[in-house]
């Protein structure tokens, strides 16, 4: 079996946001694009990442005494840079899927921004991409057996 590289399995058209993006805008974008993580880019460099879990944790609980207007006002003032994971783990497009999967497993993260030698964001590799590879490999093995 050949070594599978991150660059062949990553998502290339990465949705990104800036550090000063309001939290509700990040949440809306995640819902609209059906994604669970957003790299945060400033001056063409990845400076952080925010996940759907991060956004949900920042939302007030149902037990809050704030009115809906107060909650919306406070959330609108909160920017993603206050919640993002700064300097997130990244990986090279030339790394193997095995290296990416191992890093995600060991560090308990579900996705990695893919950064080229110039520190430019060129993609994102996620658990779903790894699963896609596994399913494709299994399908090929099953075809070979039958």
pLDDT of 121: 97
**Of 53-62, 123-132, 137-146, where does mean pLDDT reach its minimum?**
53-62
Q: Which tens digits make up the pLDDT trace of 39-73?
A: 999 998 999 999 999 988 876 555 556 666 666 66
Q: Which CATH class is domain 6-145?
A: alpha beta
> What H or E segment, with its residue span, contains residue 51?
strand 45-51
pTM of the model: 0.84
What mean pLDDT comes out for the span 34-38? 96
C-alpha to C-alpha distance for 126 and 72, rounded to whole angstroms:
31
Task: Give residue limits of the domains in the chain.
Answer: 6-145
Give me the residues paired with residue 86 across strands. Answer: 48
Tell me how long the chain is. 146
Q: Are 37 and 88 in contact (CB under 8 A)?
A: no
37 vs 138: which has the higher pLDDT: 37
């Amino acid at each position: 079996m050949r070594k599978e590289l991150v660059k062949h399995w990553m998502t290339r058209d990465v949705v990104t946001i800036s550090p000063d993006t309001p939290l509700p805008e990040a949440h809306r974008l995640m819902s609209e694009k059906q994604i669970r993580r957003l790299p945060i880019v400033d001056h063409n460099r990845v400076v952080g990442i925010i996940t759907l879990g991060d956004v949900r944790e920042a939302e007030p609980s149902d037990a809050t005494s704030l009115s809906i207007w107060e909650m919306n006002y406070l959330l609108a003032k909160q920017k993603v840079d206050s919640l993002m994971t700064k300097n997130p783990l990244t990986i090279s497009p030339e790394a193997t899927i095995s290296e990416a999967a191992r890093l995600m497993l060991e560090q308990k993260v579900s996705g990695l921004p893919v950064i080229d030698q110039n520190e430019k964001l060129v993609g994102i590799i996620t658990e779903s991409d790894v699963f896609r590879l596994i399913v494709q490999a299994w399908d090929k093995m099953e075809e070979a057996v039958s």
